[in-house]
Chains A and B, each alone.
Chain A
Amino acid sequence: MAEPEPTTAAAAPAPGRLRNAFGGVLCAFTLLLIGVLAFSIRLFSVIKYESVIHEFDPYFNFRVTQFLSKNGIYEFWNWFDDRTWYPLGRVIGGTVYPGLTLTAGSIWWLVNALNIPLSVETVCVFTAPIFSANASWATYLLTKEAKGTGAGLMAAAILAMVPSYISRSVAGSYDNEAVAIFALVFTFYLYLKTLNTGSLFYATLNALSYFYMVCSWGGYTFIINLIPMHVLLCIVTGRYSSRLYIAYAPLVILGTLLAALVPVVGFNAVLTSEHFASFLVFIILHVVAFVYYIKGLLTPRLFKVAMTLVITVGLAVCFAVVAVLVALVASSPTKGWSGRSLSLLDPTYASKYIPIIASVSEHQPPTWPSYFMDINVLAFLVPAGIISCFLPLSDASSFMVLYLVTAVYFSGVMVRLMLVLAPAACILSGIALSSAFDVLTRSMKFQLSKVFNDGSAVSGDSIAEGSTASNDTKGSSTSTVNTNSAKIENRTEKSEKPSKKNRKKDREVTGSVPVKPKKEKRLSVLPLEASVVGTLLLIVLGGFYVVHCVWAAAEAYSAPSIVLTSRSREGLHVFDDFREAYAWLSHNTDVDDKVASWWDYGYQTTAMANRTVIVDNNTWNNTHIATVGTAMSSPEKAAWEIFDSLDVKYVLVVFGGLVGYPSDDINKFLWMVRIGGGEFPHIKEPDYLRDGQYRVDSQATPTMLNCLMYKLCYYRFVETDGKGFDRVRGYEIGKKHFKLTHFEEVFTTHHWMVRIYKLKPQKNRIRGKLKKLKSSSKTSSTLAAGRKKNPWQ
């Protein structure tokens, strides 16, 4: 052992500080690796496919980012997009959540300012992985606030690879959620940090972070309802403190002001019901603060009197405010709630009233397997995490529990909100795993030291239980133990010598004291075998989780959905039909041509083909979508009239029958009928169903077999195999040979997945025939009368 320092005071704390420093470095390094993990696990899509934007919404975000990077921020705020929702257009600047776009735009700007020539597309593709790394760091901070560093690291590692979050943030999935989850977790962290420290600095940061969240995602309402709930919980359970006030009051004031700056939110931040809970709690918090203030001023007896007074007045004021709010809210038809929020509170709302929201698959309630798929073993660890949160219940841990409970409810309503559950599940699982490992390793250490001490006692050695020997057993061979114990023996023999020498040696011993207490912290230790087995089982569990996550990242969630692949005996087969069609549109049609398709493909058409579309995924105008739905479900001539009235030149349909691509337009067709029928009553769903069944084979209804969608999908399909066998539906189609009179095929992709038709120009009218034509059009198309807006008529 090294010679101790001659000075008495300085020597002792040095090892502890070193240990802390080492721990700090280790922690930072682990966090760095977690960030790398979070980033790289999301690159499967780039490696297996290519660096490309995925799916539908990301294409819109990408297009907006391109616009932003080309035209600058002011043009962006004023952007009126005339290439979509023709002829209405869309005010993009005022209707998007700009957080993601601005983030990627500024990354692009920064990178290009450093003369690193990354394209906007590259930046967009990698924004999501970068922000997942940020999100896992934010999770570390959040969990650390609640339960310490160990739990924080565990939670960060779990979040870095949770499949639910991966599904929304693989490279290329350039969507709001990727950034929003980071903002969500970081806002919660800052809230807890403020709650724990009571610092106004963090409170201000919290408001800014909330602002970023408002910019990023409509899910910010979750924050502005969850935090008031927690504040209320704290007040009810008697945990009111000035820190709580500092954590909440600035957030409401600053946050609401900042939120109102975002054009898409604007005055909604004070006008809609989603935000009212926060104001109500704000009032309650003030009342409570006032009560506490009075309590400090007055004697107990006086206080009782004052209390009743204040409570009555406070309640009266509260009721007055609530009454005003209720009156305001009740005056609006949807009670001040947006459709999506309402469908959260009443899961059956959307399917009853808004078919557009219900038609989106990610707005459906999840199935049980999707829980297992998306959060895997975390579902089993979460209850343990809740218990661990209750062991010493603090403000922070009660927040975690509250977050989890609400997130579980929301995820049960919409698959999409599984994403909000994921961080909560990760944090609580991290806490659970961390405390489980804590208990197990502690008891292992304790039992091991006991074993070694017993052994030494048997051999006749007389080392006290508390000697340093047990410390060094960790990871070292028994020989070092023997030498160490020998040394200590020597020392104890000499211990009768003068006190000065003694003290030196004592100091040597004290150096290792801080490690020791852990093993005897609690008397509730487990047997050695149990703890070893437990640790191993937990590691195996973690291993399963990792394997599942990697599988999910590599197989389940890496497909960009615009490129499909299938493995066959000859190798990989690529279905690149969507881009084939979009490339054809963009190069071989006039730049101002209008393309009609079902709204799913609107964003992709504007972004990839740069053509004007009638409807897109923004679904802001139900009537417009219903018009397209009506056209698709009408017979050819009526459809031609509708499309012609909208200046449509090309109609695009997605057809999977040849290669067996299930999410094609025929499978979505009933939604078109429903949405169309919702606005135009002459379209009736039963007309398309045979005995309540949707089918396109020979049993199908004539309305179905004559509608435009059927004809465009199956035009000349029978010539492929002679029978017209549809591989998605698994039967032969009903009407096989027919001709198109008002449309002509202009392009069909290699696997027939996208078919593009052109509206034939109107025939020259011969004078004598004019009257006849007019009358026939009136009788044949019932639509002309029922249609609401048709400038052509």
Chain B
Amino acid sequence: MAPPPRLAALLLLLLAGASASAVRADLVISRADRKVDLTSHIVRVLTSLKVENVVSEPVSKVLLAFPNIQAKNLAAIRAFGTEGKVKGPSVVLPIETVQPSGVPPELTFFSVSLHKPLQKGKILHLDVLTVFTHSLQPFPEEITQAESQLVVFQDSSHYLSPYPVKVQTLSIRLPGGRVESYTKYANTKLVDSELKYGPFEDLPPFSYSPVIVHFENNNPFAVAKELVREIEISHWGNVQITEHYNIAHGGARLKGEFSRIDYQSRPYVRGVSSFRHLIARLPPTAHSICYRDEIGNISTSHLWSDSKKTQLEIEPRFPLFGGWQTTFTIGYGLPLQDFVFTSDGKRFLNITFGSPVEEILIEKLIVKVVLPEGSKDIDVSVPFPTKQWQEVKYSHLDIAGRPVLVLEKPDVIPEHNLHFQVYYKFSNISLLIEPMMLITGFFLLFVACIAYMHTDMSISKNSPSYLAKLQWDEVQATVQQIQSIFGQCLAVHDKLEVSLHDLSRTGDTKSCKAARKAADAQFKELAKELKPLLISLQSSTQSYQIWPKVEDLVAKEREMQEKLMARHSTVVDSFEKKLRGQDIENRIASQQQKITVLRQEVESLLEYLSEI
């Protein structure tokens, strides 16, 4: 079951040949305690060093050594130091890769620069946090659904250092559960999922003794093959973050079948190596959170929020077993004032770099900061090296496009979740460009509509269709005039009726006659007005449809007029002869009927004309 100790063999070879020149004599590490945390798939090693200067000249650099095989998995390294006998508040110390002369090429060196050189006899407390990815190798590499996942971790029980180490210990925290095997030395203890090596005393520089731990680790091996984070700033008050994940289970691959019944009946036994959800901690002010993939929303997620944080539990569409992958997108909005600030004329965005998802390893992280259209003088400050370039993105109604700052970094771990700043210049007036553009656009559209309705667009002024249209307009005008005349005629009719009513009430024939006279005069006048209109209408070629109706109308109206007059004279006559009301009614009853019918006809004709 033991893994092939190739790393160990290689290192032993190497160390045997480690030349004396690489050994440093200026410093001595009086105590080295290493704590290795293997509970998740990201390996964190916290090394507390007590460094003492043993030479006369002050030393300003401390070297840290890692075998290349470890160094290539090194995702982050950080050092904090305090000087003095007791540990005080520590400060972050800058670290850089160095290649000192005479060291074997199989080792990678980092040098910690001290803020002030270490004097003789002084002691420096140096805490180095190193984080490794891909350091837990699944072994066996393929397991079935029911098996739990075993991984192998390799390191040295001795602290690899160019300095002599007086006392050192190593403790490895395991996630609990089964431990298949581990390298046993004399003073090795396994207590409650904590494996202890040491203390070892007085070891020369570059001492190395391989340790292999083979244990069960069923924590989610969530690996994002690629994560694209898009941070879009809108000065209307929102910072929109969209994160596209391509997640895989980085542990031992599933072999054989996946049985849902096994998984459902005993999920923690059959399917123990899988994970079904991830937790993302978003800022407390996050709003409009969405969770979807390319084929729609994913309905399995939970959200809790309180004043400190918003916690989003995202469950992919299916549980992820070893080697399975899925993609999804989460998006959320943040209030602008919490993340964008101004300082001496420049604005800057201050936001975290990495993913909000817990314990996730991102193999390739691309952060795109989309600044508003019209931003200038873009500048960025990131606490670690990244690849950077700029793009242009066209979004809602953009003309020049929005400048996009792209940052790319491989192997991002939660420790990289630091704030970074993007500085840019942006004037608030640019905000109004797009609304103004819309307003102008619609205004021009309406103006164009109005202009179109009021202008004559015909190409030729002599074309038959144009002439026809002109004639038609003329006909319409004439028809309207005719209508108004007939309207007046009808009004006169009404007036006559009214006078008759008056007559029946008052018996005043004189006023009735006067009304009749006035009506006659009006009729004559109207007839005079009507004549030229009728002639012009008849002569027009466009009126062939209307003309018969108009003719009909004229005839009907004349008839009605006559009937009305006749009735009027009959009534007046009878009044003068002092006939009884009943008799008058009888005499005019037939006329009355005809008049009503005629009137209806006239009115329906008028309505027909008005609808043209």
Residues of A within 8 A of B (CB): 9, 12-13, 16, 50, 52, 114-117, 462-467, 492, 495-496, 499, 502-503, 506-507, 509-510, 513-514, 516-518, 520-521, 523, 562-563, 574, 576, 579-580, 582-584, 587-588, 608, 716, 719-720, 744-750, 752, 755, 758
Contacts and interface: CB of A to CB of B under 8 A. Distances in A.
Contacts of A513: 487, 490-491, 606
A562 B397 CA distance: 34
B398 interface: yes
Contacts of A582: 295
Nearest to A488: B498
28 contacts: A9-B484, A12-B484, A12-B487, A115-B394, A115-B395, A115-B398, A464-B501, A465-B497, A466-B494, A466-B497, A492-B498, A499-B518, A502-B518, A503-B522, A509-B491, A518-B607, A520-B603, A521-B600, A521-B604, A576-B317, A580-B317, A584-B326, A587-B326, A720-B261, A744-B256, A744-B257, A746-B257, A755-B260
Contacts of B326: 583-584, 587
Nearest to A11: B484
Contact of B603 (A465, A517, A523): A517
Contacts of A466: 490, 494, 497
Nearest to A751: B260
A588 B494 CA distance: 90
Contacts of A52: 295-297
A587 B327 CA distance: 8
Nearest to B603: A517
A117 B395 contact: yes
A510 B491 contact: yes
Nearest to A492: B498
Interface in B247-265: 256-261, 264-265
Nearest to A457: B501
Given A466-B494, A496-B514, A719-B261, A510 B487 contact: yes
Interface in B227-265: 256-261, 264-265
Contacts of B511: 496
Interface string B572-611: 0000000000000000000000000000100110110010
A462 B501 contact: yes
Given A13-B481, A52-B295, A745-B257, 20 more contacts: A12-B483, A114-B397, A115-B397, A462-B498, A465-B497, A467-B498, A495-B498, A499-B521, A503-B522, A514-B606, A517-B606, A576-B299, A583-B317, A583-B318, A587-B326, A588-B325, A716-B259, A719-B261, A744-B256, A745-B258
A116 B396 contact: yes
Interface of B: 256-261, 264-265, 293, 295-300, 317-318, 323-327, 394-399, 480-481, 483-484, 487-488, 490-492, 494-495, 497-499, 501-502, 505, 511, 514-515, 518, 521-522, 525, 600, 603-604, 606-607, 610
B259 A748 contact: yes
A587 B295 CA distance: 12
| Nearest 4 pairs of A and B residues by beta carbon | A12-B484, A748-B260, A517-B603, A510-B487
A126 to B, nearest CB: 15
Contacts of B395: 115, 117
Contact of B494 (A9, A467, A758): A467
Contact of A464 (B398, B497, B515): B497
A614 B74 CA distance: 48
A509 B491 CA distance: 7
A585 to B, nearest CB: 10
Secondary structure call for the A interface = mixed
Contacts of B484: 9, 12-13, 510
A746 B515 contact: no
B412 to A, nearest CB: 22
Nearest to B319: A750
B261 A520 contact: no
Contacts of A521: 600, 603-604, 607
Contact of B318 (A507, A523, A747, A758): A747
Contact of A588 (B293, B324, B501): B324
B258 A747 contact: yes
Contacts of B397: 114-116
A510 B481 CA distance: 12
Contact of B295 (A12, A463, A579, A745): A579
A117 B393 CA distance: 10
Contacts, number: 162
B483 A13 contact: yes
A426 to B, nearest CB: 25
A588 B274 CA distance: 15
Contacts of B261: 716, 719-720, 748
Nearest to B393: A117
B380 to A, nearest CB: 24
A749 B318 contact: yes
A587 B321 CA distance: 12
Contacts of B323: 588
Nearest to A717: B261
A292 to B, nearest CB: 20
Nearest to B493: A466
Contacts of B491: 506, 509-510, 513
B263 to A, nearest CB: 9
A373 B318 CA distance: 38
Contact of A50 (B265, B297, B604): B297
Nearest to B533: A9
A495 B522 contact: no
A501 to B, nearest CB: 11
Contacts of A506: 488, 491-492, 495, 522
Of the candidates B317, B326, B480, the one having the most CB atoms from chain A within 10 angstroms of its own CB is: B317
Contacts of B494: 464, 466-467, 509
Given A495-B515, A510-B490, A16 B610 contact: yes
A588 B320 CA distance: 10
A583 B295 contact: yes
Contacts of B490: 466, 510, 513
Given A16-B610, A521-B604, A747-B318, A502 B257 contact: no
B259 A745 contact: yes
A748 B258 CA distance: 8
A50 B483 CA distance: 59
Nearest to B327: A587
B262 to A, nearest CB: 9
B314 to A, nearest CB: 14
Contact of B396 (A115, A463, A583, A749): A115
B524 to A, nearest CB: 10
A105 B240 CA distance: 28
B317 A579 contact: yes
A439 B495 CA distance: 29
A117 B394 contact: yes
Of the candidates A506, A579, A750, A755, the one having the most CB atoms from chain B within 10 angstroms of its own CB is: A506
A744 B257 CA distance: 6
Of the candidates B318, B327, B396, B607, the one having the most CB atoms from chain A within 10 angstroms of its own CB is: B318
A13 B477 CA distance: 9
Contacts of B518: 495-496, 499, 502
Contacts of A50: 296-297
A26 to B, nearest CB: 17
B127 to A, nearest CB: 41
Contacts of A562: 296
Contacts of B297: 50, 52
B471 to A, nearest CB: 17
Contacts of A523: 600
Contacts of A465: 497
B293 A583 contact: yes
Of the candidates A12, A463, A466, A587, the one having the most CB atoms from chain B within 10 angstroms of its own CB is: A587
A52 B295 CA distance: 8
Nearest to A521: B604
Contacts of B505: 462
Given A115-B394, A467-B494, A587 B502 contact: no
A520 B483 contact: no
Contacts of B265: 719
